[in-house]
Amino acid sequence: MIREHFDREGWAMVPRFLTPRDVEALRAATDELALKGASLSADSEIDGARYEVQSARGRRGEAAIRRGALRKITFASSASPQVALLRNDRRVLKLIESVGVSSPRWIVDQINLKEPGVGTGFPWHQDVAFVAWQQRDAIAKYGGANLVIALLECEVADRACSRVKHDLCVHAFDSKLSLTDGKQPSRALAGGHDRRALRVEDG
């Protein structure tokens, strides 16, 4: 069921993927990471994690709208043992495998902290463009998948997550089987025309 939907639409939703206790632990870890960046007014690196501040236009390298306003934390697992636990979590690995990625490897993780009503929306894009070239080559050769774990509920009525939103995004790729040969992206991925707003619960 998940695989069929993923192949057809380019995405699939798995409600209650993590337990409430897991979600609460990740929220606490997110709060702890955010606290480390509470004094930042520009992009910085802390304990191996890369902090990007929230600017008025949402562009990297610009000054924060105020001190401590964060947009995202990349490589959060480098600074948080709780996030790092997901790297070998069997639930994560099995889910990625279920959409056709055998022997998945963790490439990068990112906690998104975008505040409501600030900056701009995210235009259609492919995340592979933002990883190192070695990883792009691996994804092109073997295929890959993203896993986004909502840590707060997303309100569709608020224009697809215009409220405060926390989520954890994991990128993984296949180390054995090529998934890209002869396959075209679905309509949802190829042109962004089939956009839809979904109600997303935490976990």
> Could you read off the pLDDT tens digit of each residue along the chain, which spans 203 residues?
888 888 888 888 888 889 999 999 999 999 999 999 999 999 999 999 999 998 888 788 899 999 999 989 999 999 999 999 998 899 999 999 998 888 888 888 999 886 666 666 666 777 777 788 888 888 888 778 888 888 877 654 333 333 334 555 555 554 433 223 233 333 333 334 455 555 666 66
Sorted by where each begins, the domain ranges of the chain are 2-190
SS (H, E, C) the chain: CHHHHHHHHCCCCCCCCCCHHHHHHHHHHHHHHHHHCCCCCCCEEECCEEEEECCCCCCCCCCCCCCCCEEEEECHHHCCHHHHHHHHCHHHHHHHHHCCCCCEEEEEEEEECCCCCCCCCCCCCCHHHHCCHHHHHHHHHHCEEEEEEECCCECHHHCCCCCCCCEEEEEEEECCCCCCCCCCCCHHHHCCCCCCCCCECCC
pTM of the model: 0.77
Q: What is the CATH number of domain 2-190?
A: 2.60.120.620
